[in-house]
Amino acid sequence: MSSRRPEIVVVSGGSAGIGRATALAFARRGDWVAILARDPARVAAACAELRAAGATALGIPVDMADAEAVERAAERIERELGQIRVWLNNMMTTVYAPVHEMSAAEFRRVTEVTYLGAVHGTLAALRRMRPRNTGCIVQGGSALAYRSIPLQSAYCAAKAALRGFTDALRCELIHDGSKVRVTMVQLSAFNTPQFDWARNKLPHRAQPVPPIFQPEVAAAAIVWAATHRRRELWVGWPAVKSILSSRVLPGLGDRLAARRAYDGQQTAEPLPAGQPDNLFAPVAGPFGSHGRFDERARAGSVQWWLSRHRVPITAAAAVSLAIVVWAL
């Protein structure tokens, strides 16, 4: 544990998956963590894991789609823990289905949780950070905010909307001369439980599009983003390739996604009949940070290491080039 003064960190969607791994990463660096998520039992389990690591943790069951509930949670956090320094918006839900099989209610719910949930969290954080002129808001993003894929139209649209919202907010903070910082972490595919509880109308079980990374890779990137000045952070080569290709060759990206993303999002296992989903209510179970893909998931990312050290790497490359030029 660090001897520095702990900061108050809020992790929405912190009871499982990347959110839980991130909450634990903040706890291990000595911060006090508040976890916001829907399932009371899983919130309690996540807090117990943080306390076992020696951290102070506060769990509040809340649906981030409920703006008033989010505001009440923020009030309680500051009352019981102190001034919020970092707020991570990481909650999400999705539906695996082609557009023509989606209902209006499903589009609305994915939007309420994945997009509006982040807006509600951001507003609650801003109400406290702007008057104090300090703090950092981290938006949990995805490469799909730039490069949409088939079978997840609602989720892709919500992440794209969150990117637009975040860019607009960043401009306003710059205009106001505010020291409140907002950043977005665009992720690749990760081994989380979402593929066992997301609503799925496909014939087979869902999977992250390979290559797959462990959630601790995303957690490390999010903690780094919250403590360093980076406008946006891309994590994993797949995210980099997807984002850059969407800017340079979007039509080619459409065709590649049409060809590869159908099979890439499904395993060969048939979908179990009656599998519950978390679209409108949490799915009970001992879900943690990891999903069922441990054997296939990578524990590190070369791209993320290079991104984190890009300044010294660039400087070393410039010096090496200068030496070569001088020698020639």
3-state per-residue secondary structure call for 1-18: CCCCCCCEEEEECCCCHH
- Integer Cα distance of 47 and 24 in angstroms: 9
DSSP codes of every residue in 207-229: -PPSSEE-HHHHHHHHHHHHHS-
Amino acid at site 51: R
Residue 74 domain flag: yes
Q: Is residue 2 part of a domain?
A: no
* CATH number of the domain residue 296 falls in: 3.40.50.720
Residue type, 172: E
- Joined together, the tokens standing for residue 168 give 């607009």
Confidence of residue 1 (pLDDT cuts 50, 70, 90): very low
CB 170 within 8 A of CB 230: no
Name the phi and psi angles at 251, rounded to 5. -65, -40
Residue 194's domain comprises 8-327
Q: Specify the pLDDT at position 320.
A: 56
Gap between the Cα atoms of 199 and 97, Å rounded: 9
Asked if pLDDT for residue 315 goes beyond 80, the answer is no
Give the pLDDT confidence score for residue 304 in this predicted structure.
80
DSSP-derived letter for residue 111 is I
Closest by Cα among 195, 243, 188 to 212: 188
Whether 114 is in a domain gets the answer yes
- 308 in a domain, yes or no? yes
What pLDDT is attached to residue 307?
Answer: 82
In a domain? residue 3: no
The pLDDT tens digits for 87-108 are 999 999 999 999 999 999 999 9
- Number of structural domains found in the chain: 1
For residue 309, pLDDT over 80 is answered with: no
Tell whether the torsion through CA atoms of 76, 78, 82 and 88 is positive or negative: positive
Q: Where are the alpha helices (DSSP H) in 203-286?
A: 215-227, 237-248, 250-264
**Is residue 246 in some structural domain?**
yes
Cβ-proximal residues to 41 (8 Å cutoff; 6+ apart), any chain = 284
Per-residue pLDDT at 145 exceeds 90: yes
Arithmetic mean of pLDDT over the chain: 94
What backbone phi and psi angles, to 5 degrees, belong to 195? -80, -5
Catalytic residues: 155
For the cut 70, the answer to whether the pLDDT of residue 322 exceeds it is: no
pLDDT exceeds cutoff 60 at 316: no
DSSP-derived secondary structure letter, 115: I
Chain segment 111-140, per-residue pLDDT in tens: 999 999 999 999 999 999 999 999 999 999
pLDDT at 296 over 60: yes
Q: What is the DSSP pairing of strand 95-96 with strand 204-206? A: unpaired
In this structure, which amino acid lies at residue 168?
A
pLDDT in tens, 22-55: 999 999 999 999 999 999 999 999 999 999 999 9
In whole angstroms, how large is the CA radius of gyration of the chain? 20
- Asked if the structure places residue 1 within a domain, the reply is no
- The CA angle 235-90-123, to the nearest 5 degrees, is 120
Give this prediction's pTM: 0.92
Q: Which residues sit opposite 212 in a β-bridge?
A: 189, 297
- Is the pLDDT score of 285 beyond 70? yes
Q: CA-CA distance, 245 to 46, in Å (whole number)?
A: 38
In a domain, 132, yes or no: yes
Mean pLDDT value of segment 282-286: 92
